[in-house]
């Protein structure tokens, strides 16, 4: 992560603020009226902290008369300072992970400049309109000496599934903390933690790391305090399941890079513990989401035929045999065992570390395997409700933890397991 210099025009505006206890970067597309609601929620924080709300002008709804409502916003947000801030520079690459990384860099830079005790990033819209979750992200940072506050979104079956199937259970297995959404993207960060992120960057962090992927691992490895805030269901953009290769690569690559940097830390972890949670989990109403299982299975079968040479460089012979058997199953019988899926994730993480092939090509070749697991997961949940969903994902998480000795062995002695 590299902290970008503060643009001159913004420097002049932020000098008016001078200092702040809390910096809040607003990435979500909030119109000025919603921004007023957010500020009102922040004003209820105890201790009357000075708050700088950074708003990217591109995040404002252009259909709203900004000139008129900005004066109203300034009047209502008397305890805060609104600072137009370019959270995303014009030359920022238009990819989800890089865009979010640049925004975090900008918020960290502002927080350091203002001497803030903590900062938050608000990146999501929720299905519920209750604004209190924003205050709950900030409160533990200012009042309870917590270093990282992560959201616990109410879950739908097929939304945020990349997080549920790889990111969260992998980080739970590695770092021993049961964090439901370790990448946020709505997060609260203490000064202790964001200074470590900035300091690590100045000490030449590894190429390919991103602050979002590094926040939770750094907090755990530095023995900092983490808690979750239960919020509503996050509104995700529609998933194009047949065109997710680039997304898979962009999100998993920095996580695998971080695995390499923190290997000495995560290899010492032997079990997982829950993190403290503020409020009760929010339940969603009936979830009617569906996926096209047949297309996913067909994509896997094509991958098993066309990508066999690449997979042979990554996966042990026993795994390749299991995949061939899986490809011959009928649609009704098709199931990828969690244990097989977990070993595949571990093997791809190792191949990423060893640069077995080009990293982008490597992770894109993982797509048919991921779709095979999603198809199996969809089969399992065809008749289940919210309870079945939680139980299904817990079984997957336990499979990651049970498979960790395999990962540690392959990581320490990769040649022993080579095909």
Residue spans of the domains in the chain: they are 8-278, 293-417
| 150 secondary structure, DSSP code | E
**Tokens representing residue 29 in the block:** 């597309």
Which has the closest alpha carbon to 343: 267, 400, 294, 259? Answer: 400
Confirm if 104 and 26 have CB atoms less than 8 A apart.
no
What CA–CA distance (Å, rounded) separates 21 from 295?
51
Confirm if 233 and 23 have CB atoms less than 8 A apart.
no
Helix boundaries (H) for 18-63: 32-42
What is the pTM (predicted TM-score) of this model?
0.88
Name 187's bridge partners. 121
Confirm if 411 and 267 have CB atoms less than 8 A apart.
yes
Per the prediction, the chain carries an average pLDDT of: 84
Q: Is residue 85 packed enough to be buried (19+ CB in 10 Å), middle (13-18) or exposed (0-12)? A: buried
- pLDDT confidence of 100, banded at 50, 70, 90? confident
Mean pLDDT to the nearest integer, 50-78? 53
Question: Higher pLDDT residue, 237 or 186?
Answer: 186
**Residue 60: predicted pLDDT:** 43
Give the phi and the psi of residue 185 in degrees, each rounded to 5: -85, -5
What CA–CA distance (Å, rounded) separates 202 from 19?
23
Confirm if 69 and 61 have CB atoms less than 8 A apart.
no
Tens-digit pLDDT profile for residues 205-223: 555 567 889 999 999 999 9
- pLDDT confidence of 285, banded at 50, 70, 90? low
What CA–CA distance (Å, rounded) separates 178 from 344?
21
**Residue 93: predicted pLDDT:** 61
End-to-end alpha carbon distance in the chain: 36
**Residue 59: predicted pLDDT:** 44
Tens-digit pLDDT profile for residues 158-176: 889 999 999 999 999 999 9
Give the phi and the psi of residue 187 in degrees, each rounded to 5: -140, 150
| 237 secondary structure, DSSP code | P
Q: Which of 236-240, 361-365, 385-389 has the lowest mean pLDDT?
A: 385-389
The sign of the dihedral angle between the CA atoms of 370, 414, 398, 160 is negative
Mean pLDDT to the nearest integer, 231-238? 82
Number of helices followed by number of strands (H, E) in the chain: 19, 10
Q: Which of 181-185, 200-204, 322-326 has the lowest mean pLDDT?
A: 200-204
What distance lies between CA 297 and its chain's CA centroid? 27
Query: What CATH architecture applies to the domain 8-278?
Result: Alpha-Beta Complex (3.90)
Residue with tokens 């959201």: 151
**Tokens representing residue 61 in the block:** 């709804």
**Tokens representing residue 50 in the block:** 């000075």
């Amino acid at each position: 992560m590299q902290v970008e210099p503060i643009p001159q025009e913004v420097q002049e505006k932020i000098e008016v603020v001078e200092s702040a206890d809390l910096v809040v970067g607003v990435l979500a597309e909030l119109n000025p009226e919603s921004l007023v609601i957010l500020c009102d929620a922040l004003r209820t924080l105890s201790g009357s902290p000075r708050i700088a709300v950074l708003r990217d002008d591109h995040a404002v709804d252009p259909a709203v008369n900004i000139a008129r409502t900005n004066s109203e916003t300034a009047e209502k947000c008397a305890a805060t300072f609104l600072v137009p801030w370019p959270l995303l520079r014009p030359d920022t690459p238009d990819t989800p992970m890089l865009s979010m990384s640049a925004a975090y860099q900008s918020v960290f830079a502002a927080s350091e400049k203002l001497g803030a005790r903590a900062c938050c990033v608000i990146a999501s819209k929720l299905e519920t309109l209750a604004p209190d979750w924003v205050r709950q992200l900030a409160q533990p940072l200012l009042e309870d000496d917590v270093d990282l506050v992560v959201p616990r979104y109410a879950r739908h079956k097929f939304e945020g599934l990349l997080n549920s199937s790889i990111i969260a259970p992998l980080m739970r297995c590695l770092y021993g903390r049961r964090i439901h959404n370790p990448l946020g993207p709505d997060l609260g960060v203490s000064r202790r933690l964001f200074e470590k992120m900035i300091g690590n960057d100045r000490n030449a962090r590894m190429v390919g790391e991103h602050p979002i992927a590094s926040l939770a691992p750094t907090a755990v490895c530095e023995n900092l305090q983490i808690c979750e805030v239960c919020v509503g269901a996050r509104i995700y953009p529609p998933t194009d399941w047949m065109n997710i290769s680039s997304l898979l690569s962009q999100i998993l690559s920095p996580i695998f890079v971080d695995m390499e940097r923190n290997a000495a830390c995560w290899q010492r972890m032997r079990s997982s513990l829950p993190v403290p949670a503020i409020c009760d989990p929010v339940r969603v109403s009936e979830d009617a989401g569906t996926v096209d299982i047949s297309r996913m299975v067909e994509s896997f079968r094509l991958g098993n035929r066309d990508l066999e040479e690449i997979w042979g460089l990554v996966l042990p012979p026993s795994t390749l045999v299991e995949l061939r058997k899986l490809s011959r199953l009928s649609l009704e019988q098709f199931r990828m065992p969690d244990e097989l899926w977990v070993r595949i994730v571990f093997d791809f993480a190792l191949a990423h570390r060893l640069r077995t092939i080009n990293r982008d090509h490597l992770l894109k070749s993982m797509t048919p395997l991921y779709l095979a697991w999603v198809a199996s997961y969809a089969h399992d949940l065809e008749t289940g409700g919210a309870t079945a969903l939680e139980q299904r994902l817990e079984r997957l998480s336990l499979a990651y933890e049970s498979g960790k000795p395999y990962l540690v062995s392959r990581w320490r002695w990769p040649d022993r397991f080579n095909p």
